[in-house]
Amino acid sequence: MIARDPWLAFSRHTPARIALGRTGASLPTQEVLRFALAHAQARDAVHLPFEATKVEAEIRALGFETLEVASAAPARDVYLRRPDLGRRLNAESRARLAARKAAPVDLALVVADGLSATAIHAQTAPFLAAFKPWITKEGWSVAPVVVAAQARVALGDEVGELLAARALVVLVGERPGLSSPDSLGLYLTFAPKVGRSDAERNCISNVRSEGLSHELAAFKLAWHLKEALRRAVSGVELKDESDLLLLHGAPPPALTGG
Protein backbone atom coordinates (compact mmCIF):
# COMPACT_ATOMS: atom_id res chain seq x y z
CA MET A 1 0.00 0.00 0.00
CA ILE A 2 2.85 2.34 0.85
CA ALA A 3 4.96 3.77 -1.99
CA ARG A 4 8.55 3.84 -0.71
CA ASP A 5 10.95 6.47 -2.05
CA PRO A 6 14.03 4.87 -3.58
CA TRP A 7 16.31 7.75 -2.50
CA LEU A 8 16.19 7.01 1.23
CA ALA A 9 19.99 6.60 1.20
CA PHE A 10 20.31 10.38 0.69
CA SER A 11 18.94 11.00 4.17
CA ARG A 12 22.52 10.59 5.40
CA HIS A 13 23.19 14.06 3.89
CA THR A 14 20.47 15.92 5.80
CA PRO A 15 18.46 15.77 9.02
CA ALA A 16 15.43 16.89 6.96
CA ARG A 17 12.58 14.39 6.73
CA ILE A 18 13.12 13.29 3.14
CA ALA A 19 12.05 10.05 1.42
CA LEU A 20 9.16 9.47 3.81
CA GLY A 21 7.14 7.50 1.27
CA ARG A 22 3.42 7.96 0.82
CA THR A 23 0.08 6.25 0.76
CA GLY A 24 -1.90 8.08 -1.89
CA ALA A 25 -1.24 11.76 -1.15
CA SER A 26 -0.60 11.13 2.52
CA LEU A 27 2.12 10.21 5.00
CA PRO A 28 2.46 6.58 6.09
CA THR A 29 1.18 5.90 9.60
CA GLN A 30 4.67 5.38 11.00
CA GLU A 31 5.72 8.87 9.87
CA VAL A 32 2.62 10.54 11.28
CA LEU A 33 3.40 8.96 14.64
CA ARG A 34 7.12 9.76 14.48
CA PHE A 35 6.28 13.42 13.83
CA ALA A 36 3.72 13.46 16.65
CA LEU A 37 6.35 12.17 19.07
CA ALA A 38 8.88 14.82 18.03
CA HIS A 39 6.27 17.55 18.43
CA ALA A 40 5.26 16.20 21.82
CA GLN A 41 8.90 16.28 22.96
CA ALA A 42 9.37 19.84 21.72
CA ARG A 43 6.14 20.93 23.45
CA ASP A 44 7.24 19.29 26.68
CA ALA A 45 10.58 21.07 26.41
CA VAL A 46 8.75 24.44 26.32
CA HIS A 47 6.54 23.61 29.30
CA LEU A 48 8.85 21.41 31.37
CA PRO A 49 9.27 22.94 34.85
CA PHE A 50 12.73 24.42 35.30
CA GLU A 51 14.73 22.60 37.97
CA ALA A 52 16.69 25.66 39.05
CA THR A 53 17.95 24.18 42.31
CA LYS A 54 19.33 21.10 40.60
CA VAL A 55 21.04 23.21 37.92
CA GLU A 56 22.55 25.42 40.64
CA ALA A 57 23.95 22.38 42.42
CA GLU A 58 25.58 21.18 39.19
CA ILE A 59 27.13 24.60 38.62
CA ARG A 60 28.46 24.77 42.18
CA ALA A 61 29.97 21.32 41.73
CA LEU A 62 32.12 22.87 38.98
CA GLY A 63 33.50 25.38 41.48
CA PHE A 64 31.33 28.43 40.69
CA GLU A 65 29.29 30.40 43.21
CA THR A 66 25.61 30.76 42.28
CA LEU A 67 22.60 33.01 42.86
CA GLU A 68 18.97 32.25 42.05
CA VAL A 69 16.60 34.87 40.58
CA ALA A 70 13.25 34.98 38.80
CA SER A 71 11.75 37.23 36.17
CA ALA A 72 8.62 39.33 36.57
CA ALA A 73 6.58 36.64 34.76
CA PRO A 74 4.65 34.73 37.43
CA ALA A 75 3.81 31.63 35.36
CA ARG A 76 4.73 29.90 32.12
CA ASP A 77 1.59 30.88 30.19
CA VAL A 78 2.05 34.54 31.15
CA TYR A 79 5.74 34.26 30.27
CA LEU A 80 4.89 33.06 26.75
CA ARG A 81 2.38 35.87 26.16
CA ARG A 82 4.38 38.66 27.77
CA PRO A 83 8.01 38.60 26.64
CA ASP A 84 8.47 42.01 28.29
CA LEU A 85 7.96 40.43 31.75
CA GLY A 86 10.51 37.72 31.03
CA ARG A 87 13.10 40.40 30.26
CA ARG A 88 12.93 42.02 33.73
CA LEU A 89 13.75 40.76 37.23
CA ASN A 90 10.98 40.55 39.77
CA ALA A 91 11.21 43.12 42.58
CA GLU A 92 12.55 40.69 45.16
CA SER A 93 15.36 39.44 42.90
CA ARG A 94 16.30 42.99 41.90
CA ALA A 95 16.47 44.12 45.52
CA ARG A 96 18.58 41.11 46.47
CA LEU A 97 21.11 41.68 43.67
CA ALA A 98 21.25 45.42 44.37
CA ALA A 99 21.90 44.80 48.08
CA ARG A 100 25.07 42.92 47.21
CA LYS A 101 26.75 46.20 46.15
CA ALA A 102 28.95 44.12 43.89
CA ALA A 103 32.56 45.05 43.18
CA PRO A 104 33.28 45.32 39.42
CA VAL A 105 34.06 42.08 37.57
CA ASP A 106 34.98 41.17 34.00
CA LEU A 107 32.16 38.74 33.45
CA ALA A 108 28.63 37.94 34.61
CA LEU A 109 27.16 34.57 33.61
CA VAL A 110 23.37 34.12 33.54
CA VAL A 111 21.66 30.77 32.99
CA ALA A 112 18.12 31.41 31.69
CA ASP A 113 15.50 28.74 30.97
CA GLY A 114 14.29 30.69 27.92
CA LEU A 115 12.05 28.49 25.79
CA SER A 116 13.57 25.15 26.72
CA ALA A 117 14.29 24.05 30.28
CA THR A 118 15.27 20.75 28.67
CA ALA A 119 18.20 22.47 26.99
CA ILE A 120 19.38 24.09 30.22
CA HIS A 121 19.11 20.82 32.14
CA ALA A 122 21.10 18.99 29.47
CA GLN A 123 23.72 21.51 28.34
CA THR A 124 24.57 23.86 31.22
CA ALA A 125 26.98 21.70 33.21
CA PRO A 126 28.90 20.24 30.24
CA PHE A 127 29.16 23.65 28.59
CA LEU A 128 30.40 25.44 31.72
CA ALA A 129 32.85 22.60 32.33
CA ALA A 130 34.26 23.23 28.86
CA PHE A 131 34.28 27.02 29.31
CA LYS A 132 35.86 27.17 32.78
CA PRO A 133 39.43 26.49 31.56
CA TRP A 134 39.15 29.57 29.29
CA ILE A 135 38.17 31.73 32.28
CA THR A 136 41.20 30.44 34.14
CA LYS A 137 43.48 30.92 31.14
CA GLU A 138 42.43 34.53 30.52
CA GLY A 139 42.28 35.35 34.24
CA TRP A 140 38.80 36.86 34.00
CA SER A 141 37.10 37.79 37.27
CA VAL A 142 33.60 36.31 37.40
CA ALA A 143 30.48 37.18 39.41
CA PRO A 144 28.44 34.33 40.92
CA VAL A 145 26.56 32.46 38.16
CA VAL A 146 22.95 33.67 38.19
CA VAL A 147 20.31 31.00 37.56
CA ALA A 148 17.16 32.73 36.29
CA ALA A 149 13.68 31.23 35.97
CA GLN A 150 11.07 32.33 33.35
CA ALA A 151 13.84 34.38 31.82
CA ARG A 152 14.61 35.70 28.34
CA VAL A 153 17.96 36.89 27.07
CA ALA A 154 17.48 40.57 27.88
CA LEU A 155 16.95 39.79 31.58
CA GLY A 156 20.71 39.39 31.71
CA ASP A 157 21.17 43.11 30.99
CA GLU A 158 19.69 44.04 34.35
CA VAL A 159 21.65 41.31 36.12
CA GLY A 160 24.92 42.35 34.48
CA GLU A 161 24.32 45.98 35.41
CA LEU A 162 23.53 45.15 39.06
CA LEU A 163 26.59 42.90 39.29
CA ALA A 164 28.83 45.62 37.79
CA ALA A 165 30.08 43.34 35.01
CA ARG A 166 32.06 44.58 32.01
CA ALA A 167 30.58 41.82 29.90
CA LEU A 168 27.61 39.49 30.13
CA VAL A 169 27.07 35.98 28.81
CA VAL A 170 23.56 34.53 28.89
CA LEU A 171 23.12 30.79 28.45
CA VAL A 172 19.54 30.37 27.25
CA GLY A 173 17.30 27.45 26.27
CA GLU A 174 16.58 28.08 22.58
CA ARG A 175 13.18 27.81 20.93
CA PRO A 176 12.93 24.04 20.48
CA GLY A 177 12.81 22.64 16.98
CA LEU A 178 11.18 19.37 16.11
CA SER A 179 14.58 17.77 15.69
CA SER A 180 16.37 19.75 18.40
CA PRO A 181 14.40 20.18 21.64
CA ASP A 182 17.56 20.67 23.75
CA SER A 183 19.59 23.34 21.98
CA LEU A 184 21.48 25.97 24.01
CA GLY A 185 22.14 29.54 22.84
CA LEU A 186 24.94 31.82 24.11
CA TYR A 187 24.50 35.60 24.00
CA LEU A 188 27.38 37.96 24.67
CA THR A 189 26.78 41.63 25.53
CA PHE A 190 29.53 44.12 26.30
CA ALA A 191 28.70 46.70 29.01
CA PRO A 192 25.30 45.21 29.87
CA LYS A 193 22.57 47.59 30.96
CA VAL A 194 18.79 47.71 30.68
CA GLY A 195 17.74 48.71 27.18
CA ARG A 196 20.51 47.03 25.13
CA SER A 197 19.23 45.90 21.72
CA ASP A 198 19.74 42.55 20.01
CA ALA A 199 22.01 44.26 17.48
CA GLU A 200 24.43 44.86 20.39
CA ARG A 201 24.79 41.14 21.13
CA ASN A 202 26.73 38.28 19.60
CA CYS A 203 24.97 34.93 19.43
CA ILE A 204 26.41 31.44 19.31
CA SER A 205 23.58 29.06 18.54
CA ASN A 206 22.74 25.35 18.38
CA VAL A 207 25.05 24.28 21.23
CA ARG A 208 24.36 20.57 21.85
CA SER A 209 26.10 17.28 21.18
CA GLU A 210 24.46 16.86 17.73
CA GLY A 211 25.12 20.51 16.83
CA LEU A 212 27.96 22.80 17.90
CA SER A 213 29.97 20.82 20.47
CA HIS A 214 30.49 22.19 23.99
CA GLU A 215 34.24 22.47 23.40
CA LEU A 216 33.91 24.37 20.13
CA ALA A 217 31.21 26.63 21.59
CA ALA A 218 33.42 27.37 24.61
CA PHE A 219 36.32 28.26 22.33
CA LYS A 220 34.15 30.53 20.17
CA LEU A 221 32.68 32.25 23.20
CA ALA A 222 36.12 32.80 24.72
CA TRP A 223 37.33 34.30 21.43
CA HIS A 224 34.34 36.67 21.27
CA LEU A 225 34.66 37.62 24.92
CA LYS A 226 38.35 38.36 24.64
CA GLU A 227 37.75 40.54 21.59
CA ALA A 228 34.75 42.27 23.19
CA LEU A 229 36.77 43.17 26.30
CA ARG A 230 39.78 44.26 24.24
CA ARG A 231 37.81 46.38 21.74
CA ALA A 232 34.98 47.40 24.11
CA VAL A 233 32.21 46.38 21.67
CA SER A 234 29.81 43.55 20.99
CA GLY A 235 27.13 42.88 18.40
CA VAL A 236 27.20 43.75 14.70
CA GLU A 237 30.56 45.51 15.03
CA LEU A 238 32.19 42.32 16.27
CA LYS A 239 32.36 39.84 13.35
CA ASP A 240 33.15 36.20 14.03
CA GLU A 241 36.67 35.47 12.82
CA SER A 242 37.36 32.73 15.37
CA ASP A 243 37.40 30.09 12.61
CA LEU A 244 40.81 31.41 11.56
CA LEU A 245 42.27 29.96 14.77
CA LEU A 246 40.83 26.47 14.36
CA LEU A 247 43.37 23.69 13.92
CA HIS A 248 41.97 21.20 11.37
CA GLY A 249 38.45 22.23 12.41
CA ALA A 250 39.12 21.75 16.13
CA PRO A 251 39.59 24.46 18.74
CA PRO A 252 43.03 24.93 20.28
CA PRO A 253 43.12 23.71 23.88
CA ALA A 254 42.54 26.30 26.59
CA LEU A 255 45.23 25.29 29.00
CA THR A 256 48.23 24.71 26.77
CA GLY A 257 50.09 26.90 24.29
CA GLY A 258 49.45 30.63 23.69
Partner 1 sequence: MAYVHRIGARSYVFADLKELMAKATPPRSGDMLAGIAASSAEENVAAKMALAEVPLKAFLSEALVPYETDEVTRLILDTHDPVAFAPVSALTVGDFRDFLLSDQATPEQLAALAPGLTPEMAAAVSKLMRNQDLILVARKCRVVTCFRNTIGLPGTMAVRLQPNHPTDDAAGVSATILDGLLYGCGDAVIGINPASDSLPVIDRLLRLMDEVITRFEIPTQSCVLTHVTSSIALMNRGAPVDLVFQSIAGTEGANRAFGVDLKVLREGTDAAAALRRGTVGQNAMYFETGQGSALSAGAHHGVDQQTLEARAYGVARPFKPLLVNTVVGFIGPEYLYDGKQIIRAGLEDHFCGKLLGVPLGVDVCYTNHAEADQDDMDTLLTLLGAAGVTYIMGIPGADDVMLNYQSTSFHDALYIREVLGLKRAPEFEAWLERMGIADAAGRLLPASGTHPLVGFVKEQAA
Instruction: Please give the residue ranges that form the binding site for partner 1 (CB under 8 A).
Output: 3-7, 10-11, 13-20, 22, 24-27, 31, 35-36, 38-39, 42-43, 45-46, 80-84, 115, 174-181, 183, 206, 211
Cβ proximity to partner 1, 63 vs 83, nearer residue: 83
Nearest partner of 149 among 108, 93, 190, 101, judged by Cα: 93
Length of the chain equals 258
Cβ proximity to partner 1, 39 vs 60, nearer residue: 39
**DSSP classification of residue 77:** H
What's the number of CA atoms in the CB half-sphere (13 Å) around residue 29?
1
**DSSP classification of residue 195:** T
**DSSP classification of residue 65:** -
Task: Name the minimum Å distance from CB 86 to partner 1.
Answer: 10
Task: Name the minimum Å distance from CB 136 to partner 1.
Answer: 31
Cβ proximity to partner 1, 25 vs 255, nearer residue: 25
Cβ proximity to partner 1, 62 vs 80, nearer residue: 80
CB 45 within 8 A of CB 176: yes
Task: Name the minimum Å distance from CB 175 to partner 1.
Answer: 6
Task: Name the minimum Å distance from CB 209 to partner 1.
Answer: 14
- β-pairing verdict for 145-149 and 66-70: parallel
DSSP string, 158-198: HHHHHTTEEEEEEEEEPPPBTTBTT-EEEEEEES--TT--G
Give the 3-state secondary structure of residue 12: helix
Angle between helices 155-162 and 91-99 (to 10 degrees): 30
Task: Name the minimum Å distance from CB 180 to partner 1.
Answer: 7
Cβ proximity to partner 1, 62 vs 238, nearer residue: 238
Task: Name the minimum Å distance from CB 83 to partner 1.
Answer: 5
Cβ proximity to partner 1, 60 vs 81, nearer residue: 81
Which helix (H) or strand (E) covers residue 61, if one does?
helix 52-61
